[in-house]
Amino acid sequence: MAMEIERKFLVINDDWKNKKPTGYLYRQGYFSTNASPVIRIRISDDKGWLTIKKRRGNWTRLEYEYEIPLCEAAEMMDELCCKPIIEKIRYKIFYGIQIWEIDVFSGENQGLVVAEIELRNEEDVFAKPPWIGKEITNDPRYLNVNLVTHPFCCWR
């Protein structure tokens, strides 16, 4: 069984950019925005991925991910996924012994910057970088699937 244990935080400043990380464009589409499990298509780095996720605990989700042909991923995203498509640049930064992923959203979610850390278990202790703000792990507004129907640009 594939498990993902992840915590999410808002990013409060640009100090993380001092490490000059390389970013990669991620495009994500969702087949439905109100179903469980969540089924997503992602395109990044000239590869396509089909991912199925279901919440199972505070920060734990079942996660199954499969590489699929890029042309099929693009066709499914264009023809089958809800709009708008989530677009973001993902950066990976080492802080201490762990990797943080920073997502800088564009399009309908321009202005939203979120940091995630994957853990081995829900009790893992980790150091928070100085650019980390409020935890949003359990705030459903920040789930990518919910940013499709309620984009960040409409929150104000």
Count Cβ atoms within 10 A of the Cβ of residue 9 and give its class: 0-12 exposed, 13-18 middle, 19 or more buried: buried
Look up 142 and say whether it is catalytic. Answer: no
- CA 49 to chain centroid, in Å, comes to 14
86: left (phi over 0), alpha (psi -120 to 50) or beta: beta
CB count within 10 Å of CB 3 equals: 12
| Annotated catalytic residue within 30, 66, 95, 142 | 30
Which residues does the annotation mark as catalytic?
30
